[in-house]
Structure formats: C-alpha cells, structure tokens
Chains A and B, each alone.
Chain A
C-alpha cells in the first residue's frame, strides 16, 4: 500500500476490520437462532454481515482494476439475484429440503469453479515460485466443493422425485468410491509435486470428485436424507474455509468453519437419533425404501391382524380424550396435510381437548422438517414437543394420532433386540391409552421393518390419504 495512491478504505487493515465486523454479525445472528422469538432478527443480522463482507471485498485495492471486471461482477450478481429471489419466494414449505440441497450445491459448485480459475491463473504452465499452501488449500477446496455440488444435486433430484428415493447402488460400490477418492488424492499429490497440467486437474480432481459425489449419495435412501443434507452442508462450509486459506481471506475461513461446525453437529445429532453411525449411513443401501407411495404391499402377514377404523369412530375417540398427541411423519409432508391437521387440532381444542405435537428429530427429510411444516400451518411452536419432552407424557395421553410416521414409533426399537432398528430412540406412543394410525396401506416403513404397534389391540388403523382422512375426522368432529 502506498500512502498517496490509495485511499484509506482500500487499506488492507480497514478491509480486514470490516471482515471482523461481518464475522461478529454472523455469530450474533446465529446466536439469535437459539430461540424462535429472536430468530427472525438473527437471520437479518447475519444477512447484514454478508452485505458488509461483500462491500469490504469490493472496495479493496486491486479488486476491481478495470471496467470489464466491474461489469462481469455486476452481471454475475444480477443473474444470481434474479434466480435466487424468485426461487426463495415461491418455494413451497414441503419442498424445503430440496431447496436447501440446491442452495447448498451451488455453494459447493462456486468453490470448485473458483479453485479451477485460480489454478488456471496461478499454476498452469508455471515452472516454479508457486506456493504450496495456496495450492494444497485450493485442491482441497476443489475436491470437497465438487463432491458437495454433485452430491447435493443428487440429493435434490431424489427429494424432488426426479430420481427414485430408494437406494441405487452398483456392486462393489464401496471399492469404487475408495478408488475415486484415491484418484483425487493421487492427482492432488502429482499437482503439488510439480505436474501443473490442467488435464490432471480437470480429470483427476474435478471429474473424479464429481463422480464420487454422485456415487456417495445415490445409494442413500430417502429417510436418511436428513443426515446427507447436514453432511453436505458441513462439506460446503469446509470447502469455503479451505478457499479462504488459499485466498488469504479471514472472512471465508471463519464463516466457512462455523458452517462446517454447524453441519457436523447436525449430522451427528441425526445419526444419534437413528442409532446408526455416520459411516454406515454413508455406506448406504439401508432398507428397500418401500416408502409411503406404492411399493410391495407385504407387511400385513407378520404379527397378527390390524384393526381398521372409520373417520367417525376416530373422531369420537379423539373428541372424548383429555390429551391427544399428534405424531407427524414424512407422510404428512407428502400429503400436504399440515393445514388440515391444524384445522383438526383447532376443532379438538374447541371441545376442550389438549393437543400436542411430538416431533422426532429425524421425522421428514431434513432436520426440523416437521416443525417448519406445522409452523406454516400456524401451529404455535409451544405445542411442538421434542422427543425427550414428550416421551414422559405418553403415559398421560388418551390418544396418540400418528400421521404418516412409522419407524419412529416402532416399539421393536425398544423391545426386540433382533430388530434392525433396535436401540433407535423412538416416540413411545405405545405407552398411551390408545393409538390411531393414519396410513395409506399396510406397507412397511422406510426401513422395511414390520411395526408391531399396528397389531397392538389398542391401535386402530385409519387407511387412506392423510389429508383426506384428517379432513374427514374434522368434518365428523363438527357433527358431534
């Protein structure tokens, strides 16, 4: 920096001070997310932090050397805004998991592209004087970013049902994945050792990581998506942090690492809630994925007969209860039944019934999926109970109403050491006085495991589309 040629705001220290401010705003903003009352403001504070970081970058010395750079940057931001704003405004709450997957993917894609451009600018054809630190960090960012981009796109395609939700895998999948990872690492080592060919970078790093991203997510079934999305989120964060090391940019390092930490925490929480290890989930292929729609109508044979009921009987049972606990699952999201559920709850509350909602951590396709859907339907968040809070309450509950959930209520997880989900923490609906299960048919859940709850004498099954069934119950309630 020469004192006369540049203004003080172009000073590196000034720019870095703004980055510190941005990072403070991110952390304060994320702290706001600890409670629903402060969360809206917290998100806005984080957004202001981002604006500060962008402005700080643009005013830095040499960042915009000429008009062409300014135009290219403006074009990029304009197009990105033109795509991002309508997408965020119009997306349905039931489609939130795929939206998050998509936004996550483009972040990872941006990291990989930036690393590629850097590689072209600094290293292609250069014979020496390169910086190992920059190179290693860029290569790491390129690999993780590429995995995250392609993995997120596959997750998006599965959630959007462009690809089937069931696991898709090749024989010897693990070996292939391991080989792909080795190709990435070997290429990175070759490049650092002096093989500055762009071909090695494109094929050995970007393409191999892209295939790896595809291969890792394809065999993972729909109900394991909460873990995958969290993990990919952590990956993109880490790749951003690596890009920050390559570019000597503290804002990227700190923000990327915080996201990495957040994604890791969520990944772990989800895995614990399924009682499975992260590696076993990533290895994939769990269950046949015979999810709600269609599938092999096997189930019923196993443990006795299920008793089916009518909307009218269910309504009577619910209306004369003191406390009803609603247990929503992915089936509620598929049927878009959240508003109907809220309507039914209001009708029950008018009759003096206390209604609570029991939310299992992995219900749905992403962490907290059910909470968002019910919030959309104006269910006050005080009624949404986490597993540990609601489980002691089931003993005092007259009716548990299960809407499109299955494995998270399966008592075999507690009782049957031979069950594949034995040890998974569940919502203990079998402790309530009676249970009503809304389900399309007797198909087994995602894990492909029979649910003894359905054959329990105190359980009644109400077959049909969740939304239609709930609406029928509400209609019957008004006749009582």
Chain B
C-alpha cells in the first residue's frame, strides 16, 4: 500500500484523536492514560503478523524476539484494559440523587 495513503490515514487519525481526547476531563486523566496505554498494545498484532515469517525462515533468534514481543504486547493490552476497568469502577457519584445529571466535561 502506498505511503501517501497511509500518511493521509495517519493525519486524519491524529485529528480524530485530538478531538476525542480533548473532551476528557482532568478527573479522568489517569484512566485515559492507562486506557490509551492498553490501545497502543495493539502492536501485538505486529508480532502475530511477523511470527509466520520467522518460522518459515527458521530463524531461531527472530522467533525468540517475537515471542517476547507478543508477551510484552499481551501484558500491555490485557493489563492495561483490566487496570483501567478497576480504576474506573471506583469513580462514583454522590449517593443523593438530588443533583442534575451533568457531565463533568
């Protein structure tokens, strides 16, 4: 696929990212950070995609590198989403239902 198309996708994604993230309030910055942390764990896909080549080439060093990469990526994804979930579960409203349902944005 050509570079220019990919750069186009990258630029648009950056704008989407800026739009979406700038709406997150300070209160949720830690979960935001650990949530986006989990999302960059998507690099694990890279490990999955390249593993086949390493096996086909029968390159032992590459196989070791990639198994470690998949381990790292999985820790990143699984740990990241779980820890974010734990954190977010702790954010609670005041018990009295009196106040209006306002978003803190």
Contact = CB atoms under 8 A, between A and B. Distances in A.
Interface of A: 26-27, 29-31, 33-37, 39-40, 42-44, 46-47, 50, 53-54, 57-58, 60, 62-66, 68-69, 72-73, 75-77, 79-81, 83-85, 87-89, 91, 93, 96, 99-100, 103-104, 106-107, 109-111, 113-114, 116-118, 120-121, 133, 229-230, 233, 236-237, 239-241, 243-245, 247-263, 265-266, 269, 359, 361, 366-369, 371-372, 375-376, 378, 380-384, 386
A117 B91 contact: no
Contact of B42 (A240, A372, A376): A240
Given A251-B45, A380-B93, A75 B62 contact: no
Contacts, number: 390
Given A40-B88, A63-B52, A254-B9, A84 B79 contact: yes
Nearest to A239: B43
Contacts of A269: 29
A34 B78 contact: no
Nearest to B90: A375
A350 B38 CA distance: 41
A107 B35 CA distance: 13
Residue in A60, A69, A75 whose Cβ sees the most chain B Cβ within 10 Å = A69
B68 A113 contact: yes
Contacts of A116: 65
Given A261-B14, A261-B18, A33 B24 contact: yes
Grouping DSSP codes into helix (H, G, I), strand (E, B) and loop, the B interface class, with mixed when no group exceeds half, is helix
A381 B69 contact: no
A347 B68 CA distance: 51
The 10 closest A-B pairs by CB, nearest first: A80-B74, A261-B17, A76-B70, A368-B29, A84-B79, A367-B29, A88-B82, A368-B30, A258-B17, A380-B94
Contact of B75 (A106, A113, A256): A106
Contacts of A69: 51-52, 55
Contacts of B32: 30, 33, 262, 266, 367-368
B67 A36 contact: no
Contacts of A62: 52
